[in-house]
Amino acid sequence: MNFFERQQRAKKNSKILIALFVLAITGVCFCVWYFFSLIMVYDTNSSGLFLSPVFIFQNVPYHFTFAVLAATLFVILGGCFYKVSQLSHGGGALIAQSLGGRQVLNRSANANETILLNIVEEISIASGVPMPPVYILKDESINAFAAGNTYDDAVIGVTKGAVNLLNRDELQGVIAHEFGHIFNGDMRLNIRAIGILNGVLFISLAGEFLLRSLPRIRISSRDKKGGAIAIIITIGLALYLIGLIGVFFGNAIKAAINRQREYLADASSVQFTRHPKGLADALKKIGGSSSVINSQKASEFSHLYFSDGIRNFFSFSTHPPLDKRIKAIQPDWDGQYITPKPIVHNNEKTRKTTEQKKEKIVKIITAAAILNEINDIGAITSEKLNTASEKIDKIPQLLHDGTADMLLAQFIIFITLLDKNENIQKLQIEIIARDFFTQNDEKISEKFENIKSEFKNTSRDMYINLIQISMPTLKTLSKEQYLKFKNTIIRLIEADKNISWFELNLKHLVLYPLDVLFGIVKIPQEIHSVIGAIKFEVEILLSAIISSQFLNEEKAKQAFGKIMKDFSTTTLRFVPSENISSILLENAYREIQKAKPLLRKKILEMIISSLKTDDDKLSNQDIETIHALCALLHLPISV
């Protein structure tokens, strides 16, 4: 099953989940209507006929039925939309923080946490997924989760026990499992499940509110109000129980859907790492210890975890039994669990010597190789992991450490934008100084100069990786800090009165995901399934990219025609570069974001084909363009 098939499966599961929850909500609405109608038509002389729903329906006014159902739906949908909206704005970070997680940034503070960050970095770069922020939960049990709406706001959460009790291979297996959920499109489905369950839970909360208000009612109306209090108790208990029944069946549906997804994520992990023993041993250690998360919010997010995070005395298990998961990975397992012992990792030497750093990774990236990669989007191989590790090792230590510092991470992004022209660069540095250098604080300007001088030993092909591993730190900015950071970037780009392809790509790689995170822009809905619906936008983007490859416009036009012939497309027309403005190009990118997955794949294939040259090699600009486009289209591709 490839990336696009997984996305289609996730959408199908999402529709099934919503359909099943609609049935559960319908049941809850019926119960609420039945209870209130029962009170209305109660008649001790009716010999039990009043218990019949048919009798009740015939004797209850339509407007009463409508009012009860409308009020019930309002409460359920209100609770649902409130929770989904809350999680949409806070993303995975909100879930991690509500479970008591703290974000890990400092790589040198704890050797075990450094290992964790290195693993997430490697898998992120190897897969092409923007590096998610990493959170540590204080629990000593072994568990983990991936949460978020999209790649842009996704986070990885890992318990303290997992970091301290799992070796590198086991931890890598667990993290790869969580990346599997990201690739398989499970995260948004999880958010929807949380929202719908919260809506049903609101009925129960309404009943609980009535019961909690009883002491105040008794004090204010102690005399002759016994009947009113009895009614309130009855209504409160009924709503509370009806809500709990709805949550019970909602959890059953959630558990049934989630179990199969856990098997798929396990398979993805083994596929990524090619090391089934690591994942299997992690599961065995859970069997020999615990995976329980001790948080008041733990049950709300139970379907997100790597293993069961709550004690299932009266609820459905959201995960398959451990023994079945282990046997699916290791059919010859002897049935013995592992009692974990604390592991103290040595400080991992992900940095090579200075001499080794200067050696370049000799790997020619071709358009043909990337086209082959499209069919395996989201698939990680041991070769990709090794290459990712090498890329990280080539980053100078000062820059790599700087990506974990809020101020230095911003400086790193700024410095990638500095112009080669000395006069323009001087103007850009003045912009940075006005915005970020505090008066009489030479340390800040010294830090900036140190980072800037380190870039002399940094090749252009490392810029993308630096941007990727800086993103988790940039996501810790407050909205006010981000707007200041964004304003500085825009002014740096506009300093030379021109926008280069690198500057355009950087806006898409850095500013777009942060705009989404801070609620400045919304991810557009996927509405286009045929290229004709976005014909003009594809013409603009494809023409602009091809024109950047040729000095002669006639040759660019010929190359455009060849692409149309290769893809059997005759409806698209070449747009001369003088007719393409940066605004048109930006609008084209935005509209193409609305394409459905299979159309996105076709557009990406056309664009990569347009980057082909006689020797088929891709330049740094080409690679950056592919990264930026994939980031906008949420297509994880490793280049």
Structural domains in the chain, sorted by start? 15-90+189-260 (no CATH), 98-187+261-329 (3.30.2010.10), 386-517 (no CATH), 531-633 (no CATH)
142, 192, 150, 195: which is closest to 170 by C-alpha? 142
593-619 mean pLDDT = 82
What pLDDT score was predicted for residue 384? 80
Cα separation of 327 and 278, whole Å?
Answer: 14
Q: pLDDT of 107-117, one tens digit each?
A: 666 889 989 99
Range of weakest confidence among 126-135, 223-232, 412-421, 534-543: 223-232
What pLDDT score was predicted for residue 254? 73
329, 282, 336, 28: which is closest to 142 by C-alpha? 282
Instruction: Give yes or no for residue 46 having a pLDDT over 60.
Output: no
SS3 state at 166: coil
| Contacts of 16-20 spanning 24+ positions with Cβ under 8 A | 16/257, 17/189, 17/192, 17/193, 17/196, 17/253, 17/254, 17/257, 18/192, 18/196, 20/253, 20/257
What pLDDT score was predicted for residue 226? 58
Chain centroid offset of residue 131 CA = 10
Instruction: Give yes or no for residue 535 having a pLDDT over 90.
Output: yes
Is 178 an active-site residue?
yes
499, 418, 413, 420: which is closest to 463 by C-alpha? 413
68-91 mean pLDDT = 84
Q: What is the mean pLDDT of the chain?
A: 83
Residue pair 78/202 in contact by the 8 Å Cβ criterion: yes
Q: pLDDT of 161-178, one tens digit each?
A: 999 999 999 999 999 999
Range of weakest confidence among 244-248, 274-278, 458-462: 244-248
What pLDDT score was predicted for residue 32? 86
What pLDDT score was predicted for residue 186? 80
Count CB atoms within 10 A of the CB of residue 430. 12
From the list 170, 178, 262, 503, the catalytic residue is 178
Chain centroid offset of residue 424 CA = 37
Q: pLDDT of 358-394, one tens digit each?
A: 444 445 566 666 766 676 666 677 778 888 888 888 8
What pLDDT score was predicted for residue 49? 57
Q: Which strands sit side by side in the sheet containing 155-159, from one edge to the other?
A: 102-103, 134-137, 155-159, 144-147
What is the enclosing helix (H) or strand (E) of 362? Answer: none
Residues 547-562 as b or e (16 or more Cβ within 10 Å = b): bbbbeeeeebbebbee
Count CB atoms within 10 A of the CB of residue 518. 18
Q: pLDDT of 404-417, one tens digit each?
A: 999 999 999 999 99
Residue pair 187/149 in contact by the 8 Å Cβ criterion: yes
pTM recorded for the entire structure = 0.81
Percent of the chain with pLDDT over 90: 34
Q: pLDDT of 319-356, one tens digit each?
A: 889 999 999 999 999 999 999 999 877 765 444 333 33
Q: Which residues neighbour 100 within 8 Å (Cβ) at sequence distance 6 or greater?
A: 137, 138, 295
Residue 639 — pLDDT band, cuts 50, 70, 90? low
Cα separation of 14 and 189, whole Å?
Answer: 6
Instruction: Give yes or no for residue 624 having a pLDDT over 60.
Output: yes
